[in-house]
Amino acid sequence: MKLLESLLEQCGFEDSETFRVDPSRGAYFKNVKHIAEYSPQRIVLALAKRGVTVEGENMQISGYFQRDIFIRGKVTGVRVE
């Protein structure tokens, strides 16, 4: 876990902006302010300091509670802006 935290810190992420991706199952994001765009192929999230675009197939928002979001589906790409 410390390796992941170190890599995220080197990339400029704060602990509150962490995310996890399992390409075959989905993705989990913390500290989501709002959902800017939503379709089964593309979901755009606004985090505290940046935006994240998740692309894939058959994606759906499975849970969104207290600024945490879980996306189910096949994730083919994640882009941080």
State the residue range of the domain holding 72. 16-80
Q: What is the mean pLDDT of residues 61-78?
A: 92
Number of folded domains that form the chain: 1
Instruction: Write out pLDDT tens, residues 3-40.
Output: 656 655 665 556 555 788 888 889 999 889 999 999 99
Nearest to 40 by CA among 27, 21, 52, 54: 54
State the CB neighbour count (10 A cutoff) for residue 28: 16
Report if residue 4 sits inside a domain: no
CATH number at 76 reads 2.60.40.2000
State the DSSP string of 18-35.
Answer: -EEEETTTEEEESSEEEE
Q: What's the half-sphere exposure (Cβ side, CA atoms, 13 Å) at 74?
A: 3
pLDDT of 80: 86
Which residues, listed in sequence order, are joined to residue 80 by a DSSP beta bridge? 52
